[in-house]
Amino acid sequence: MHTFRDEAKAKDDRHVPGVRGAAGSVDPAGGHLRLILGIADGRVARVTVALTRNPGAASVLAGLPVDRAARTVGLLYSLCGTAQTVAALGAMEAATGRAARPATMAARAALVLIEALDQGVVRIGLDWAAPVGAAVDAEGLRALRRDLATARGAIPSAVPAWDRIGGADDGDGDGWPPPDLGAAVAALSARLRTWLPDATLLSESAGAVRAWARAGDTVPARAVALALDGAPEPARAVRPLVGWRLAEVAEDLRTEVGAGAPPTWRGRVAETGAMARLVDHPVVADLLASGAGLAARLVARLLDLRRAEAALRALAAGEPPPAAVTMTDGPGVGLAAVETARGVLLHRVVVTDGRVADGRIVAPTDWNAHPDGVLARTPLGWSATDRTALARRLHLLVLAIDPCVTYDLWLDDMRAMDAPGEAAAHA
């Protein structure tokens, strides 16, 4: 029986060139995602999603004291390290009954938002440019990263114990917001105008978005234009993960997901991330209804980044942070959820005698890379007569969903696979 690796050696021509996930925007330690598309009669007839995870990430925490474990989580993930830390802190605080102060919660929320903007906008600057044939603005990206670092650095100086269980016990961080955060966020917002279209433009109408895309003077506009350039896409809806409660997913975290099964919500596959959060936005809904699903996903991603910016400005102005999504699930058992740029991140931890006895992490990619999930369903029916155009659209689809792992794409001629010589190779 051939593995994917064996097939890759034998049939490198099936690999979509240049699509493996850009350096710096994926988490190699987190695993690898492979999409294999079966082509028949000029269309995508089948999609196989294979997600390989690194099993050691959560297990490395076992036996560690909770305070050390919480700080270790962020070191295990090169992407979403802050969100991973905040989710671990929430779960461990629920398990130990040590609530964090409001200033600590505000600091955590702000840091998660800065991380989302960092990874989301840099993803656009690095990765969206490739399929539309645009050059990477390296100097502009460096300037953006400097502004992001300045905003990030203003927070620990005022709330240095944000990454400790419960925060500090001595009143640390009672003064929120930090004195330098407002100016830093204002500078960051000004910088983002170079990279992101205004939310008002994106919210005006689907027609206005189409006109903006046709103008094509920015990477996001050109990406949306490329997504719009094609026949209407068949609807392959996956239920958005909205309106959920942590108690609803607690059972799965105890059983099926804990055993390695992909997550479900109310017994069904669900999608998380920007599209799920913005699915009812009028412009996104209009694009979806017209068969422009890929464009709708890209617009949702852009709107979601603007939403994160607005939430960060509100926190910097002193508005209270959103309530933490945590719960206790039995003695010494805590659950927490954090909305990241890529979707809902879940942590479950069991604490015994002040140490981590067991833990489970469900990342957004675990939802979206379900074998029958959004990545498997969305490309079905897409035209495959122009393989180069298909590759670009697939690249944009993966970027819109934004998995946190490396990925590659493969195209299979299903007629060739059904031939006697090929059938054995795929058995």
pTM, two decimal places: 0.90
> Residues 318-356: pLDDT tens digits?
999 999 999 999 999 999 999 998 999 999 999 999 999
Please name which of 375, 401, 399 lies closest in space to residue 37, comparing C-alpha atoms.
375
Q: Between these two residues, 402 and 55, which has the higher pLDDT value?
A: 402
pLDDT at 259 over 70: no
Quick one: pLDDT at residue 180? 96
* Predicted local distance difference test score (pLDDT) of residue 427: 32
Token pair, residue 236, equals: 């392959």
Rounded to whole angstroms, how far apart are CA atoms 408 and 379? Answer: 15
Range from 258-262, 371-375, 406-410 carrying the lowest mean pLDDT: 258-262
Cα–Cα distance measured from residue 372 to residue 91, given in angstroms and rounded to the nearest whole number = 29
SS (H, E, C) 226-240: HHHCCCCCCCCCCEE
Distances (CA, A) of 307 to 123, 177, 201, 341, 419: 17, 19, 14, 11, 51
Please write the tens of the pLDDT for every residue from 282-312: 999 999 999 999 999 999 999 999 999 999 9
Res 54 pLDDT > 80: no
Give the model's confidence band at 77: pLDDT under 50 very low, under 70 low, under 90 confident, else very high.
confident
Q: How many residues does the chain have?
A: 427
Give the integer Cα–Cα distance in Å for 236 and 199.
27
The secondary structure of 77-100 as a DSSP string is: -SSSHHHHHHHHHHHHHHHHT-PP
| DSSP strand pairing (43-53 vs 355-362) | unpaired
Listed in sequence order, the residues at least 6 apart from 196 whose beta carbon sits closer than 8 Å to its beta carbon are 121, 124, 220, 302, 305, 306, 309
**CA-closest candidate to residue 275, choices 243, 308, 240, 307:** 240
What is the pLDDT confidence band of residue 364, given thresholds at 50, 70 and 90? very high
Q: Exposed, middle or buried: residue 315 (CB in 10 Å: 0-12, 13-18, 19+)?
A: buried
8-17, long-range: CB within 8 Å, 24+ apart, which pairs?
Answer: 8/410, 10/425, 14/410, 14/411, 14/412, 15/408, 15/409, 15/410, 16/391, 16/394, 16/395, 16/408, 16/409, 16/410, 16/411, 17/391
How crowded is residue 179: how many other Cβ atoms within 10 Å of its Cβ?
10
State percent of the chain over pLDDT 90: 66
CA 243 – CA 250 distance, rounded (Å): 15
In the prediction, which pLDDT does 374 show? Answer: 94
Average pLDDT, the chain: 86
Beta bridge partners of 338: 345
Packing angle of the helix pair 293-316, 387-401 (nearest 10 deg): 30
* Confidence band for 6, pLDDT divided at 50, 70 and 90: very low
